[in-house]
Amino acid sequence: MAEYALLEKYESIKHRFEEVQQQITDPAVIADMKRYVKLNQEYKSLEKLLTAFKEYKNLVDNIQSGKEILAEESDEELREMAREEMELAEEKIPGKEKEVKMLLVPADPEDGKNAILEIRAGTGGDEASIFAGDLFRMYSKFCEKKGWRLEVTNVNEGTAGGYKEIVANVTGDGVYGILKYESGVHRVQRVPQTETQGRVHTSAATVAVLPEAEEFDVELKESDIKKDTYCSSGPGGQSVNTTYSAIRLTHIPTGIVVTCQDEKSQLKNLAKAMNELRTRIYNMEYQKYIDEISSKRKTMVSTGDRSAKIRTYNWPQGRVTDHRINLTMYNLQAIINGEIDEIIEKLMIEENAQKLKEAEI
């Protein structure tokens, strides 16, 4: 069975799964929430891997028993059945082997987390703000289709429409693992509404996607946080409400500042601001990990260097180009309406291929 070398890993994976299964029922482990959550995540990924491994092992066993029947059995009907089973198993093995190999590659520990999505207008004045608005609508529709919840926490509207800046929490299943590919500079080429001579202009907006920190990921000391309250304001400085419900938090050791004015309740805004502050502090450390892998994987250049140009949306040609994998598509209207699944899927395939190459499984 030398040609099925993957089977050598089966017993050790099975042993680790049983070990974790035992640990998550231990009262001492349950009492340590941080450890318990990590072990639970490991349990889920090992369970998925073990299921795939068992299916792979069954296919290998079918081939082995088929070979034995062909060597020992003279009944032609039984031999024909054995040949059919072997052919079927041999057809399925490459796909199942690839699935097992992918599951053996350690996943980004943050992939299962919720995310904070930030969109900021870049170069291009009013047109950049309008484009930031287009991107926000694109992600809103994408999240809706995925069944994710998108909640705006802070917004600074553009003078001609769109947003100078908009920040939102996205919650759902495996949000960060999918949205992380969107971090970077998005460029638009089109004739702005303000252009009288019909010339195509280039503008840009920056997208940042951060994995949301859990409460136990970061310990925040009250003495390290300066809290300010103020009245929420809308476009043109108009007062949205006359109570001091908006919150600004400054983390003194790092200098990180977050604001939240989305809710009418100061308490709700404070909870959202604390969550965002925790995430930003956590991401300072997480960024070191991103920098390390971004040097190896072109698909992750976006999160490694958030100033990197990742995608161009060309309106006159109806074209969208993702520069990381040289992918060009001519369905701009569908993409801007939230149909970004195909782009993300192709980026994932490319990254997975690079992960396998690195791991040499």
Instruction: Please measure the distance between the N-terminal and C-terminal CA atoms of the chain and give it in whole angstroms.
Output: 17
Q: What is the pLDDT of residue 236?
A: 40
pLDDT more than 70, % of the chain: 87
Per-residue pLDDT tens over the stretch 230-286: 876 654 444 444 567 888 899 998 889 988 887 778 888 888 888 888 888 888 777
DSSP SS3 for 232:
coil
Confidence tier at 312 by pLDDT (50, 70, 90): very high
Residue of higher predicted confidence among 353 and 311: 311
Residue of higher predicted confidence among 197 and 17: 17
Hey, which bits of the chain come out as E strands? 115-121, 149-157, 163-171, 184-190, 201-211, 225-230, 246-251, 256-260, 309-314, 319-322, 327-329
The two three-digit tokens of residue 279, written as one number = 């995430």
Tally the residues of the chain. 361
Q: What CA–CA distance (Å, rounded) separates 82 from 63?
A: 8
Q: Which domains does the chain have, with CATH numbers?
A: 2-104 (1.20.58), 115-355 (3.30.70.1660)
Per-residue pLDDT, averaged over 86-92, amounts to 92
Q: What is the pLDDT of residue 294?
A: 58
Residue spans of alpha helices (H) in 295-313:
301-304
DSSP tag of 340: -
187 neighbors 165 (Cβ within 8 angstroms): no
> Which among 101-105, 190-194, 198-202 has the top mean pLDDT?
198-202
Q: What is the pLDDT of residue 178?
A: 93
Residue position matching structure tokens 């299964």: 21
> Which among 188-202, 286-300, 310-324 has the top mean pLDDT?
310-324
DSSP SS3 for 70:
helix
Per-residue pLDDT, averaged over 18-39, amounts to 88
Per-residue pLDDT tens over the stretch 142-161: 999 999 999 998 899 999 89
- What is the reported pTM? 0.69
Q: What is the pLDDT of residue 361?
A: 57
